């Protein structure tokens, strides 16, 4: 009898609390989920609002949120979205503009690139949490000082490419990773008209794009660094096995490298032959809110709790993410990973966050896969096909 | 006329073969780049050794069959030919080659599940003198560890009563299997024999225990923050969804198949046609439509919604198969019942239903197996790792933002395919009879 | 006993009664649901669930069916079909019709009929039918037409939201077709989707030469290749294992079905990894035989070979089992007779066994062809990412068949999900599958006997 009463009481409590409940979708795993749950517990203690954390895979969040939010079937908050989703999700109506919840003193405490990345058409759509970019990660056992110039780099990479060891690997066909080479030769995704991007002018083609594509092909067939069949898993596995001297990868991979007891260092990639500075894509992730949330004030408060400098520091301790709050970066300046990647991020440019970017990735990766398929691939024709497919996708004609 | 069409087919076939041999295959071969990456063991003309090995094996089989037959002939004084024995030996050889090909990916999955590196590709050279191990054709088990498996069970709290139920389930399963094996050895194939009844009782105990386990397992028993530690929960979710879906498939197709097979109402033929042709629409491309339907019914994120979405999938095939099965049963039994004053419904329930058990098992299993590792619809309708099915979990290991967690994938694959393999091996008979009843028309 | 009115009349009457009953009870269920929601309101965040409509409907349907059956007794024959029919209607036909409808619209992930949040416009005040925006509304709303005529607008206050139609926007003034139901604070432009007629189909067929036809040809070759090769191997194995004197026969037969029994979400992905050019185990083995690394997953033509081989690996046990099953139906007397006539083993095989297997194999071959024609799982899971083909878009790469092309177009063109185009492709696939099946039924005569 007592037990039954207890159950009933619990049920009623559940009903009462359901009023002030927040749902959060996250793609984090392991220690970062634990971190998020700790923040949720802290928030519940302070405000009495219950926070439910639901784990959703990264690849599903965008689609499910766009479909589900208008029907009230999605979370109040997403922790966290990469900034290149912002345009598409805002246009699809599901993101709440966050400008009204963020104070100017909070904004001014952030890295400018991060704020710019998460803003679309002048509105801030997510509160920045951390940034990421790819850089050169080298195994100190084989590479003592990171190469500064292409010649040094090539010499080191080729010297290490022998026996059962690779000098330098990454997935050539991944446009996100390969973008740095495009900027080095003067290409960009879209032409810039002052502060806005001109989506009808795709700048990946022409001579700069041709040079970049040819260089990427050369990494395989001329310099013989990256053989066929190297995807992210192969490169990552080789580095973890200690069979790879240098890899192009981002901060998300470092946890595994530490676990594999690899002594690594971080540096920017050198400029490719005949090119200028290598500038990677910078990705910024932030907390976004559903425009259809029924509990916007509480959601905004929890979002603000997640992005304070203290939270960014504790997230870095949990998962190694590179914070975007100036105060947090300053507090972590002795951490070689944060210092190394912060420098790379400062040199890079954020990925375009306009919805049209969605029409670029597919053709771009497809073109890279065609170029690197065989030594005599026709770079020029592939590139012009790619540009026309992108343009067709954007104009819809 | 028939001869002419045969010539045309022959000509077309010849053109195809010539094109394949003289144009396509050379084109394919020219696409192989003549370079050997490091770490890649290539033996010039290695195929000659393998061919030689096979010839030696065949020669050995030949010698064995000749000698054995001549000894036997000498002993018994008969004159038996050695060729059947030789043919058997070669058959064994051939089947073993097929077996190795069939099991090779399985070996790789099992090996990867014991490899803590989460990578299907090894780079550190294995310390071994064996050429096959050194060239990494055969996985190196030297560093095997149970880390991946322990990750799948990390932080799972199982209550005492669940352990007890598990024990009961396992014991009764063991009982069923050993009885089945025993009955096989003594040649007891009767349905109603006492041993068969005991076996049936064991099976019911197993089903009941498994059912209770499945129903009462709750997400709160999974305390680890890692996604993969919810694996047992995913198995349970899948068994629940696939089980109910299979039962629903049987319930929906049984009466429909009966009506199509036995009644002759006007419009029967057109309705059957509609049933068959609707199924040809690539249904899962209607994801957005299914989503909006389930959202209007407030069934998103529920297993009910997923089960209903799956239910459409097998109706037409199941109906078709069951109709075919009923048509192969003589009408005389039912007609006798009808003359005795039974209604159509009573005739169906009393006469046909008991006979249809194998077909229902087949339809149930087909739907169960078909939905067991489905992940596209499940991914659309369910949200949150607590509600995942095995297919979604497995897909998630290999489709992360960057990483492919091969080790965890492999461990989950090994454990996750056990129920399906058990079903296939346990009910092989039903699959064979089901497919034949469904499609064999003479 | 009862008799149905014969012919088309009886059919139409039955369909009318059933359809009418379903429709009526559904409408009543819906009305009760609305009435319930109005009479006993629930909080906004947890309204009555929509499936209550279905429950009410079923509760009403049962007495309704009994009533109909009293008046028209012949209808009870149809009641046996009712569960299947209603499930097919609700969970198969309805989504199909919706998808086909999308095929005639320009529905995409962005043009989804939802407000574009980046067009947020603050409303200062309301003057009858007109909203006055804080800044230049033509700039902030970014309509398709310069004056926004006829386009939709969402307005929100802190607690309410409503969708309205704009008549004209000039400067700060947004003129609406009707006054807003509450005082709005913010307004957003809605990206609505429209009926575009056959535009999606025109788009597909205008590029048919470079996409649709090559994919269709490959799709046929893919399905035929898998079916013929796996059936051939399975047939040989089945014949070998049918030899009653072969030792370990049951053992072989049992364990050989592993590749068929294994969930494909596992085996296909593992094959994809094993076929890696320089690091996969298959090429390591071929290297021992003296081969250079074969670009299974990175060359467009080899990728085609690879998926066919994987498909054959997966399907051959099915054919082996089917052969063994079909062989049990051939009685031993036939073979005895052949033996007495002095026929050789080969002659017995080609003149007796194979012709007797043919009637059971033909329908299996054709249904396997239809299945493999739409074998999405194999294409999607085995080789990912696929090698690109020069001159083809990223949604139609080396091994894409019609259905995976449709899937990629509809759901995977990142950010720009083209549900409309995807719907159109689905309908084309449907048409092709129907044609193939009609040929199938013609060859096997499967439908003739039903009639």
Residue C394 counted as domain residue = yes
Domains of chain A, by residue range, sit at 2-132+282-350, 133-281+353-395
CATH label, A133-281+353-395, candidates 2.30.30.60, 3.90.550.10, 1.20.59.10, 3.40.190.10? 3.40.190.10
Residue A339: name the closest of A320, A314, A322 by CA: A322
> CA C14 to CA C378: how far, in whole Å?
43
Please identify, among C56, C80, C104, the residue that sits at the C-terminal boundary of a domain.
C80
Q: Give B104-151 as a DSSP string.
A: HHHHHHHHHHT-TT--S---SPP--S-HHHHTTSS---TT--SHHHHH
Map tokens 């035989």 to a residue. C289
Helix (H) or strand (E) holding B246: helix B231-262
- Residue B14 tokens read as 């010849």
**What element of type H or E holds A80?**
strand A77-82
- Cis peptide preceding B233, ω within 30 of 0: no
At B171 the three-state DSSP class reads helix
pLDDT at position C302, please? 94
Token digits for C325?
A: 């099953």
C273 CB within 8 Å of a chain B CB: yes
CB–CB of A233 and B301 under 8 A?
A: no
Q: Is A334 exposed, middle or buried (0-12, 13-18, 19+ CB in 10 A)?
A: exposed
Same domain, residue pair C121 and C76? no
Mutate to test the interface with B, among C12, C19, C80 (most CBs of B within 10 A): C80
Q: Does C385 touch chain A (CB under 8 A)?
A: yes
Residues in Cβ contact with C70 at an 8 Å cutoff, skipping those fewer than 6 apart: none
**Over chain B, what is the mean pLDDT?**
85
Q: Which residues of B218-254 are buried (b: 16+ CB within 10 A; e: fewer)?
A: eeebbebbbbbbbbbbbbbbbbbbbbbbbbbbbebbb
The reply to whether residue A123 touches residue C385, judged by beta carbons under 8 angstroms, is no
Distance CA B139, CA B290 (A): 44
A173 CB near a chain C CB, below 8 Å? yes
Confidence grade of residue B419 (pLDDT, cut at 50, 70, 90): confident
Q: Using CB atoms, pick whichever of A90, A357, A396 lies closest to residue C118.
A: A90
**A70 inside 8 A of chain C by CB:** yes
Q: Subunits that touch chain B (at least 3 Cβ pairs < 8 angstroms)?
A: A, C
Instruction: Say if residue C227 is in the same domain as residue C167.
Output: no
- On the question of pLDDT at A14 being above 70, the answer is no
The average pLDDT across B282-311 equals 87
Enumerate the residues of chain C whose CB falls inside 8 A of the CB of residue A231.
276
What pLDDT score was predicted for residue A9? 39
Contact C53 B252 (CB under 8 A): no
User: What's residue C14's pLDDT?
Assistant: 86
Which residues have a Cβ under 8 Å from the Cβ of B246 and sit 6 or more positions away?
Answer: B363, B364, B365, B367, B368, B371
Tell me which chain C residue has its CA closest to the CA of residue A229: C277
Long-range contacts for C23-29 (Cβ within 8 Å, ≥24 apart)? C24/C64, C25/C57, C25/C60, C25/C61, C25/C64, C26/C53, C26/C57, C28/C56, C28/C57, C28/C60, C29/C53, C29/C54, C29/C55, C29/C56, C29/C57, C29/C59, C29/C60
Percentage of residues in chain A with pLDDT exceeding 90? 47
Which of A60, A369, A371, A374 is the best residue to mutate to test the C interface, defined by the most C CB atoms within 10 Å of its own CB? Answer: A369
The answer as to whether C86 is a domain residue is no
Place of tokens 């603050």: C122
Residue of chain A whose alpha carbon sits nearest to that of C275: A229
Q: Name residues 34-53 of chain C within 8 A of B (Cβ).
A: 49-51, 53
A55 and B385 within 8 Å at the Cβ level: the answer is: yes
More confident residue, A20 or A175: A175
Contact B275, C86 (CB under 8 A): no
What is the reported pLDDT for C146? 81
**Model confidence pLDDT, tens digit, residues B233-292:** 999 999 999 999 999 999 999 999 999 888 888 888 888 888 888 877 877 788 888 988
> Is C99's CB within 8 Å of B45's CB?
no
In whole angstroms, give the CA distance from residue A295 to residue A219: 52
**Strand A166-169 to strand A244-249: parallel, antiparallel, or no bridges (unpaired)?**
parallel
Identify which of A121, A230, A367 has the shortest CB distance to residue C388.
A367
A164·B404 Cβ contact <8 A: no
Contact flag C118-A87 (C-beta cutoff 8 Å): yes
Q: Indicate whether B426 pLDDT > 90.
A: no
Please give the CATH number for the structural domain made up of A2-132+282-350.
Answer: 3.40.190.10
CB spacing of C414 vs A362 below 8 angstroms: yes
Rounded to a whole number, what is the distance in Å from the CA of A395 to chain B's nearest CA? 24
- B39 vs C119, higher pLDDT: C119
Task: Select the residue of A25, A54, A232 nearest B402 (Cβ to Cβ).
Answer: A232
Superfamily of domain B228-439: MetI-like (1.10.3720.10)
Same domain? C183 vs C214: no
Strand A135-139 and strand A166-169: pairing? unpaired
pLDDT at A397: 60
A 50-69 → C contacts, CB under 8 A: 62-63, 66
Interface test mutation site (partner A, options B39, B121, B228, B405, max chain A beta carbons within 10 A): B121
Cis check: omega of the bond before A80, within 30 degrees of 0:
yes
Both structure tokens of A246: 């240098």
User: How far is residue B386 from each of residues B213, B302, B370, B419, C394, measured CA to CA in Å?
Assistant: 17, 12, 22, 20, 34
pLDDT tens digit string along A348-394?
888 898 888 888 888 999 999 999 988 888 999 999 999 998 988 88
Could you tell me the two tokens for A284?
């910024």
Does pLDDT of A150 surpass 50? yes
Pairing of strands A50-55, A21-26: parallel
pLDDT at position A7: 40
* Interchain CB contact of C112 with A (< 8 Å): yes
How far CA B337 is from CA of A329, B9, B294, B343, C2, in Å, comes to 85, 53, 44, 8, 18
The ipTM (two decimal places) reads: 0.89
Q: Do C114 and A173 touch (CB under 8 A)?
A: no
CB pairs under 8 A between A and B: 98
Contact C46 A18 (CB under 8 A): yes
- Which residue of chain B comes nearest to A34, CA vs CA? B225
Domain membership flag for residue C97: no
Which residues on C lie below 8 Å from B390 (Cβ)? 263
Per-residue model confidence (pLDDT) at position C2 = 65
Spatial CA neighbour of C135 closest among C161, C176, C165, C169: C169
Which segments of C242-353 does DSSP mark as H helices, in order? 249-255, 258-261, 264-274, 281-288, 300-328, 332-340, 345-348
Identify the residue among C161, C163, C193, C394 best suited for mutation to test binding to A, counting A beta carbons within 10 A and taking the highest: C394
| CATH at C357 | 1.10.3720.10
Residue contact C388–A70, C-beta within 8 A: no
Q: Which residues pair with B315 in a beta bridge?
A: none
What residues in C contact B285, CB-CB < 8 Å?
Answer: 99, 403, 406-407, 410, 422-423, 425-426, 429
Do A133-281+353-395 and A2-132+282-350 have the same topology in CATH? yes
Q: Which two tokens stand for residue C9?
A: 């009349």
> How many of the other CB atoms lie within 10 Å of CB of A276?
11
Q: Are residues C234 and C120 in the same domain?
A: no
In Å, what is the CA distance from C71 to each residue of B75, C10, C74, C88? Answer: 86, 14, 9, 26
| DSSP calls for C111-166 | SSSEE-GGG-EEEEEEETTEEEESS-HHHHH--SSTT-TT-EEEEE-SS-EEEEEE
Q: What is the pLDDT of residue A11?
A: 38
Residues 211-270 of chain B with CB under 8 A from chain A are: 225-227
pLDDT tens string for chain C (451 positions)?
566 777 788 888 888 888 899 999 999 999 999 888 888 877 666 678 888 888 999 999 999 999 988 888 888 888 888 999 889 888 888 999 999 999 999 888 778 888 888 888 888 888 888 888 888 888 888 888 888 888 888 888 877 778 888 888 888 888 888 888 888 888 888 888 889 889 889 988 888 888 889 999 999 999 999 999 999 999 999 999 988 888 888 889 888 988 988 898 899 999 998 998 888 889 988 988 888 899 999 899 999 999 999 999 999 999 998 888 888 877 778 888 888 887 777 888 888 888 888 877 887 888 888 889 989 999 999 988 888 888 888 888 899 999 999 888 887 765 557 888 889 989 998 998 888 888 877 776 665 555 4
Contact between chains at C293 and A229 (C-beta distance less than 8 A)? yes
Domain carrying residue C46: 7-80
d(C-alpha B252, C-alpha B427), whole Å: 22
Asked if C109 has any chain A CB less than 8 Å from its own CB, the reply is yes
Residues of B in contact with A242 (CB under 8 A): 123-124
**Count of domains forming chain C:** 3
Residue count of chain A, please give it.
397
**How far apart are the C-alpha atoms of A390 and A202, rounded to whole Å?**
8
For position A151, what pLDDT does the model report? 94
> Do C369 and C440 fall within a single domain?
yes
Judging by beta carbons within 10 Å of its beta carbon (0-12, 13-18, 19+), is residue B127 exposed, middle or buried? Answer: exposed
Distance to chain C for A118, nearest Cα, Å: 12
Q: Is the domain of C295 the same as that of C425?
A: yes
Residue B67 tokens read as 């000698």
Least confident residue range of A73-77, B78-82, C296-300, C400-404: B78-82
Q: Would you say C166 and C151 are in contact if contact means Cβ atoms under 8 Å apart?
A: yes
Any CB–CB contact under 8 A between C274 and chain A?
no
Q: Which among A85, A90, A363 has the least Cβ separation from residue C393?
A: A363
* Over residues B107-126, mean pLDDT: 80
In CATH, what number is assigned to the domain containing residue C130?
2.40.30
Give the whole-angstrom CA distance, residue A328 versus residue C138.
41
Q: Do A68 and B383 touch (CB under 8 A)?
A: yes
Residue C6 Cα to chain centre, angstroms: 37
Do B119 and A228 make contact, defined as CB atoms within 8 angstroms? Answer: no
Mean pLDDT of A21-32: 87
Task: For chain A, list the contacting chains (3+ Cβ pairs, <8 Å).
Answer: B, C
- Answer whether B194 touches A (CB < 8 Å): no
Q: Are A251 and A341 in contact (CB under 8 A)?
A: yes
């Amino acid at each position: 009898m007592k037990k039954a009463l207890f159950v009933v009481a619990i049920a009623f409590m559940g009903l009462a609390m359901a009023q002030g409940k927040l749902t959060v979708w996250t793609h984090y795993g392991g220690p970062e989920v634990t971190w998020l749950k700790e923040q949720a517990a802290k928030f519940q203690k302070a405000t009495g609002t219950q926070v439910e954390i639901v784990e959703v895979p990264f690849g599903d969040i965008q689609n499910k949120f766009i479909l589900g939010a208008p029907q009230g079937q999605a979370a109040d908050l997403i922790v966290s979205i990469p900034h290149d989703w912002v345009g598409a999700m805002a246009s699809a109506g599901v993101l709440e503009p966050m400008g009204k919840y963020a104070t100017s003193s909070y904004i001014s405490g952030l890295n400018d690139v991060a704020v710019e990345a998460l803003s679309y058409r002048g509105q801030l759509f997510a509160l920045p949490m951390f940034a990421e970019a790819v850089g050169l990660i080298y195994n100190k056992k084989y590479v003592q000082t990171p190469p500064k110039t292409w010649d040094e780099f090539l010499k080191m990479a080729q010297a290490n490419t022998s026996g059962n060891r690779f000098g330098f690997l990454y997935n050539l066909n991944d446009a996100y990773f390969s973008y740095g080479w495009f900027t080095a030769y003067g290409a960009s995704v879209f032409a810039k008209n002052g502060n806005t991007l001109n989506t009808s002018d795709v700048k990946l083609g022409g001579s700069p794009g041709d040079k970049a594509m040819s260089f990427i092909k050369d990494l395989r067939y001329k310099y013989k660094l990256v053989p066929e069949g190297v995807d992210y898993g192969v490169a990552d596995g080789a580095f973890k096995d200690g069979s790879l001297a240098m890899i192009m990868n981002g901060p998300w991979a470092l946890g595994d490298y530490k676990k594999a007891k690899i002594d690594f260092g971080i540096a920017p990639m050198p400029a490719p032959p005949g090119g200028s500075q290598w500038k990677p894509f910078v990705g910024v992730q932030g907390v976004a809110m559903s425009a259809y949330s029924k509990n916007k004030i509480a959601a905004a408060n929890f979002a603000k709790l997640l992005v304070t400098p203290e939270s960014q520091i504790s997230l870095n301790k949990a998962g190694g993410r590179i914070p975007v709050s100036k105060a947090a970066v300053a507090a972590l300046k002795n951490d070689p990973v944060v210092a190394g990647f912060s420098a790379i991020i400062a040199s890079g440019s954020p990925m375009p966050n306009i919805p049209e970017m969605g029409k670029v990735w597919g053709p771009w990766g497809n073109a890279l896969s065609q170029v690197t398929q065989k030594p005599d691939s026709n770079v020029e024709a592939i590139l012009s096909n790619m540009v026309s497919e992108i343009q067709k996708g954007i104009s819809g004609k | 006329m028939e001869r002419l069409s045969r010539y045309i087919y022959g000509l077309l076939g010849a053109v195809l073969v010539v094109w394949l041999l003289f144009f396509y295959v050379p084109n394919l071969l020219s696409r192989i780049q003549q370079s050997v990456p490091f770490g890649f063991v290539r033996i010039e003309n290695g195929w000659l050794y393998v061919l030689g090995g096979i010839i030696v094996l065949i020669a050995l089989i030949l010698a064995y069959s000749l000698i054995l037959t001549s000894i036997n002939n000498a002993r018994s004084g008969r004159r038996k030919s050695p060729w059947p024995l030789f043919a058997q030996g070669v058959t064994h050889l051939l089947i073993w080659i097929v077996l190795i090909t069939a099991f090779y990916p399985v070996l790789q999955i099992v090996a990867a599940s014991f490899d803590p590196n989460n990578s299907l590709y090894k780079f550190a050279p294995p310390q071994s003198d064996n050429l096959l191990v050194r060239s990494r054709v055969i996985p190196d088990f030297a560093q095997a560890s149970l880390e991946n498996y322990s990750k799948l069970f990390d932080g799972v709290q199982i209550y005492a009563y669940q352990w007890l139920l598990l024990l009961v389930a396992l014991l009764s399963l063991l009982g069923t299997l050993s009885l089945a094996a025993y009955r096989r050895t003594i040649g007891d194939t009767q349905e109603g024999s006492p041993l068969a009844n005991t076996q049936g009782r064991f099976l019911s105990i197993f089903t009941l225990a498994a059912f209770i386990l499945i129903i009462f397992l709750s997400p709160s028993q999974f305390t680890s923050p890692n996604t993969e530690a919810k694996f047992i929960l995913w198995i349970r979710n899948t068994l629940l969804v696939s089980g109910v879906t299979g039962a629903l498939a049987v319930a929906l197709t049984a009466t429909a198949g009966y009506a199509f097979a036995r009644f002759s109402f006007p419009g029967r033929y057109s309705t059957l046609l509609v049933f068959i042709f609707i199924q040809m629409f690539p249904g899962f491309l209607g994801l957005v439509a299914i989503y909006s339907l389930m959202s209007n019914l407030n069934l998103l994120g529920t297993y009910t919604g997923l089960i209903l979405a799956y239910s459409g999938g097998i109706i037409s095939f199941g109906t078709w198969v069951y109709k075919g099965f009923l048509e192969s049963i003589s009408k005389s039994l039912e007609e006798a019942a009808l003359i005795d004053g039974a209604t159509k419904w009573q005739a169906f329930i009393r006469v046909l239903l008991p006979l249809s058990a194998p077909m229902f098992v087949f339809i149930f299993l087909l739907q169960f197996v078909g939905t067991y590792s489905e992940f596209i619809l499940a991914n659309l309708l369910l949200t949150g790792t607590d509600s995942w099915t095995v297919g979604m979990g497995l897909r998630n290991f290999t489709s992360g933002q960057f990483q492919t967690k091969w080790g965890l994938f492999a461990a989950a694959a090994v454990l996750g395919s056990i129920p399906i393999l058990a079903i296939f091996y346990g009910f092989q008979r039903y699959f064979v009879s089901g497919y034949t009843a469904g499609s064999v028309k003479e | 006993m009862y008799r149905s009115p014969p012919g088309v009349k009886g059919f139409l009457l039955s369909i009318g009664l059933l359809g009418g009953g379903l429709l009526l009870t559904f409408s009543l269920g819906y009305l009760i649901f609305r009435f319930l929601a109005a009479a006993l309101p629930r909080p906004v965040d947890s309204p009555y669930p929509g499936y209550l409509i279905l429950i009410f409907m079923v509760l009403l349907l049962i007495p309704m069916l009994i009533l109909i059956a009293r008046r028209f007794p012949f209808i009870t024959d149809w009641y046996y079909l009712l569960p299947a029919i209603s499930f097919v209607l609700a969970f198969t036909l309805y989504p199909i019709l919706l998808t086909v409808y999308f095929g005639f619209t320009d529905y995409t992930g962005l043009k989804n009929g939802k407000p574009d949040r980046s067009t947020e416009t603050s409303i200062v005040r309301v003057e009858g039918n007109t909203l006055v925006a804080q800044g230049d509304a033509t700039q902030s709303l970014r309509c398709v037409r310069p004056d926004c005529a006829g386009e939709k607008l969402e307005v929100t206050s802190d607690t309410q939201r409503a969708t309205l139609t704009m008549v004209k926007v000039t400067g700060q003034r947004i003129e609406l077709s009707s006054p807003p139901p509450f005082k709005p604070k913010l307004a957003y432009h809605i990206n609505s989707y429209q009926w575009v007629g056959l535009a999606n189909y025109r788009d597909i067929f205008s590029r048919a030469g470079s996409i649709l036809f090559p994919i269709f040809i490959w799709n046929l070759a893919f399905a035929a290749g898998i079916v013929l090769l796996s059936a051939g191997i399975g047939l040989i194995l089945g014949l070998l294992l049918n030899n009653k004197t072969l030792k370990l026969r049951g053992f072989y037969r049992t364990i050989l079905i592993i590749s068929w029994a294994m969930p494909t979400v596992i085996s296909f992905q593992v094959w994809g990894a094993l076929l890696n050019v320089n690091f996969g185990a298959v090429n390591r083995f071929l290297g021992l035989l003296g081969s250079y690394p074969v670009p299974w997953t990175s060359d467009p033509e080899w990728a085609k070979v690879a998926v066919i081989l994987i498909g054959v690996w997966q399907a051959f046990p099915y054919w082996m089992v089917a052969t063994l099953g079909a062989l049990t139906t051939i009685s031993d007397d036939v073979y005895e007779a052949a033996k007495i006539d002095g026929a050789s083993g080969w002659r017995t095989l080609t003149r007796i066994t194979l012709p007797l297997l043919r009637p059971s194999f033909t329908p299996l071959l054709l249904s396997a062809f239809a299945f493999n024609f739409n074998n999405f799982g194999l294409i999607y899971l085995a080789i990912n990412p696929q090698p690109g083909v020069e001159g083809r878009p990223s949604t139609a790469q080396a091994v894409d068949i019609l259905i995976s092309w449709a899937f990629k177009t509809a759901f995977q063109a990142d950010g720009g999900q083209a549900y409309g185009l995807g719907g159109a492709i689905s309908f084309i696939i449907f048409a092709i599958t129907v044609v193939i099946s009609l040929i199938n039924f013609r060859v096997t005569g499967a439908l003739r006997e039903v009639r």
